[in-house]
């Protein structure tokens, strides 16, 4: 099976590409500084941050970490922010100090945040004040010694900064009260840091750049160890897809709507756009579709990436349908499969085909993509990107042939080093450099891959991974629950949604009680959308609840109703 997909590469396209132009992400950034210092790197809320300014501020941030906080190479620094200009400043600051970035979803509950900070051993965190109360509630149970606070508008011009911060805190009341003694502000960090000496560390390709948290194939969230080499490899693999679309365009702005703390947006947008010479327009709250569309009106843009949910929401917005799409050349979807109806409507409106990719955090994240010349949506995930080997392993351990289903295994320089401090979990998925993805695929006669099932029980809600074990653990914290199992069910809006089946210990238990209970422990996209009570759940002969049986029964029932 290895290399067989090459037959389906676009004519003239490279099958093996050079990915070692830089030894580290620091060198990639320094190259951009040398070649395009006055180019706009990012825009947010009307404020432009040039590459030169990004270099100055990230250097000040790095110098502060090195000299004032006395952090050393390899220390972990958590970033807990939506898409703001502070994010790339802190991101490149941490990397330029030789430290490791730990991305944190700012919507995490205290329980979720505590686990990630404890597991990573992060000693410092940058957090937006909107979420400081969450940090306050658990910070004493972690290794975090240094808290850097920022407000939403802190990198905007003076007048707008004060206006945005006032509205966020006092009008929209989005900043719960908090008390974090000893915390320093982001603006103070930059002010002090620019007066200190920055010392560039020696960073090798295999040094870690990120601990990017994911549930892996099952269970609790684990930190995928992604090195500078892993990330750079994937940047150049993604560039192989994107460059032909954007290289000759006079329009150099590209929309970053997905949150940069997510691996897909981080590498495919935040970092790739620097290498492509594009300006990333940061959308802080893409859920506000009307506000998002207003921002799109202000910018001619050559590229837009998203997930099916976002594309669908835009298509259903009347003002979006009236925009000028003449500059748009590249539309990319990741995180979840794109519905055929959405793909067809997008093409009809914009003239763009949505290029679908397949990946996972453990692969930095891109593994496969539909060939750029694809003209219609067919539900495939395309062909493996350059420098990527695959094999498809059947249940009996033998390698599948064309048309046979099996688990997709991946090998390449983008594959993670392993899970942070979890050798047993690493050994379960990594063997001789091959990563077992847990996804069941078929390679058709056209050499395209199609996902047909999941070996793992992961649920994908709007592109975010949700792990049934975590949902079940939370539900079981309610003393009225005897047993529970969680599965993913089809959802038109989010691709999949969480459904739980509950056996009561106390007959007074209600679905509303469970929902309220879950809200205290789980971020929004993980909440059960459907709750069904059962007298019993199917079990194996040793008493293990058979989640797959429940899932198969539920999907069969839904299919019968259609």
Instruction: Report the percentage of the chain scoring pLDDT > 70.
Output: 94
Q: Distance from CA of residue 541 to its chain's centroid?
A: 39
Q: Tokens 């249940």 identify what position? A: 395
**pLDDT of 484 higher than 60:** yes
368 to each of 340, 372, 507, how far by Cα in Å? 19, 12, 49
Q: List, for residues 27-38, the tens digit of each pLDDT value.
A: 999 999 999 999
Q: Which CATH architecture has domain 459-561?
A: 2-Layer Sandwich (3.30)
The rounded Cα 319 to chain-centroid distance in angstroms is 28
Q: What token pair was written down for 215?
A: 């549930």
- What's CA 308's distance to the chain center, in Å? 14
Decide if 505 contacts 511 (C-beta within 8 A).
no
Tokens of 523: 């971020």
CA 12 to chain centroid, in Å, comes to: 32
Say which residue, 220 or 47, is predicted with more confidence.
Answer: 47
What is the Cα 180 distance to its own chain's centre? 28
In terms of Cα–Cα distance, which of 221, 184, 182, 202 is closest to 102?
Answer: 221
Residue 338: per-residue pLDDT? 80
Tell me the domain boundaries of the chain. Answer: 1-24+232-251+275-456, 40-203, 459-561
* pLDDT, mean over the chain: 91
Fold of 1-24+232-251+275-456: Rossmann fold (3.40.50)
3-state secondary structure 456-497: CCCEEECCEEECHHHHHHHHCCCCCEEEEEEEEEEECCCEEE
Residues in the chain: 562
Structure tokens at 438: 């847990």
Task: Tell me if 40-203 shares its fold with 459-561.
Answer: no
| pLDDT at position 561 | 81
Contacts of 256 (CB under 8 A, 6+ apart): 42, 83, 265, 269, 270, 273, 280, 281, 282, 283, 305
Q: How high is the pLDDT of residue 312? A: 86
pLDDT score recorded for residue 492: 87
If one compares 14 and 161, the residue with the highest pLDDT of the two is: 161
Q: What angle do CA 331, 337, 338 make, to 5 degrees?
A: 50
* Helix H or strand E segment including 273: helix 272-276
Architecture (CATH level 2) of domain 40-203: 3-Layer(aba) Sandwich (3.40)
DSSP codes of every residue in 412-459: STTS-S-BTT-HHHHHHHEETTEEEEEEEEEE-TTS-EEEEEESS--E
Tokens of 533: 């009570």
- Predicted confidence at residue 395, as pLDDT, reads 86
Q: CA nearest 212: which of 171, 176, 165, 259? A: 259
Is the pLDDT at 337 greater than 50? The verdict is: yes
pLDDT tens string 348-375: 999 999 988 899 999 999 999 886 666 5
């Amino acid at each position: 099976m290895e290399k067989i997909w090459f037959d389906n590469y676009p004519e003239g396209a490279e099958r093996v590409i050079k990915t070692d132009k830089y030894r580290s992400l620091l060198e990639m950034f320094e190259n951009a500084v040398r070649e395009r210092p006055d180019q706009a790197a990012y825009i947010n809320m009307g404020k432009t941050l040039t590459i030169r300014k990004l270099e100055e501020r990230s250097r000040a941030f790095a110098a502060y970490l090195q000299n004032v906080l006395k952090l050393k190479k390899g220390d972990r620094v958590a970033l807990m922010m939506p898409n703001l200009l502070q994010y790339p400043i802190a991101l490149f600051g941490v990397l330029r100090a030789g430290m490791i970035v730990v991305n944190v979803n700012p919507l995490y509950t205290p329980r979720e945040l505590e686990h990630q900070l404890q597991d990573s051993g992060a000693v410092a965190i940058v957090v937006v004040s909107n979420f400081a109360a969450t940090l306050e509630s658990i910070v004493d149970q972690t290794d975090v010694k240094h808290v850097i606070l920022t407000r939403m508008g802190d990198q905007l011009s003076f007048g707008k900064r004060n206006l945005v911060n006032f509205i966020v805190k006092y009008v929209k009341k989005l900043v719960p009260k908090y008390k974090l003694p000893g915390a320093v502000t982001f603006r103070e960090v930059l002010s002090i840091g620019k007066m200190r000496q920055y010392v560039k560390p020696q960073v090798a390709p295999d040094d870690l750049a990120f601990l990017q948290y994911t549930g892996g194939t099952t269970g609790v969230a684990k930190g995928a160890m992604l090195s500078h080499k892993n990330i750079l490899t994937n940047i150049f693999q993604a560039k192989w897809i994107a460059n032909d679309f954007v290289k000759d365009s006079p329009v150099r702005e590209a929309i970053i709507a997905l949150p940069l703390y997510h691996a897909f947006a981080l590498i495919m947008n935040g970092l790739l756009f620097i290498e492509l010479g594009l300006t990333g327009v940061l959308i802080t709250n893409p859920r506000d579709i009307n506000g998002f569309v207003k921002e799109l009106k202000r910018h001619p843009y050559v590229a837009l990436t998203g997930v099916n949910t976002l594309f669908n929401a835009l298509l259903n917005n009347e003002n979006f349908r009236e925009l000028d799409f003449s500059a748009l050349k590249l539309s990319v979807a990741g995180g979840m499969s794109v519905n055929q109806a959405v793909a067809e409507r997008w093409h009809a409106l914009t003239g763009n085909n949505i290029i679908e990719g397949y990946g996972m955090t453990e692969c930095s994240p891109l593994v496969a993509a539909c060939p750029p010349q694809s003209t219609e949506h067919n539900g495939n995930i395309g062909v493996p990107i350059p420098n990527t080997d695959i094999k498809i392993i059947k249940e009996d351990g033998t390698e599948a042939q064309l048309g046979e289903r099996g688990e997709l295994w991946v090998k390449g320089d983008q594959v993670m080093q392993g899970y942070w401090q979890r050798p047993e979990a690493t050994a379960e998925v990594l063997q001789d450099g091959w990563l077992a993805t847990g996804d069941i695929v078929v390679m058709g006669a056209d050499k395209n891959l199609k996902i047909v099932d999941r070996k793992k029980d992961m649920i994908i809600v709007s592109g975010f991974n949700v792990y049934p074990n975590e949902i079940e653990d939370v539900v079981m914290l309610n003393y009225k629950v005897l047993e529970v199992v969680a599965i993913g069910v089809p959802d038109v809006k989010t691709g999949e949604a969480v459904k739980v089946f509950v056996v009561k210990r106390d007959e007074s238990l209600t679905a509303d009680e469970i929902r309220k209970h879950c809200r205290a422990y789980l971020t929004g996209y993980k909440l059960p959308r459907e709750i069904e009570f059962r007298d019993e759940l199917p079990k194996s002969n040793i008493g293990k609840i058979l989640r797959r049986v429940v899932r198969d029964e539920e999907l069969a029932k839904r299919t019968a109703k259609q």
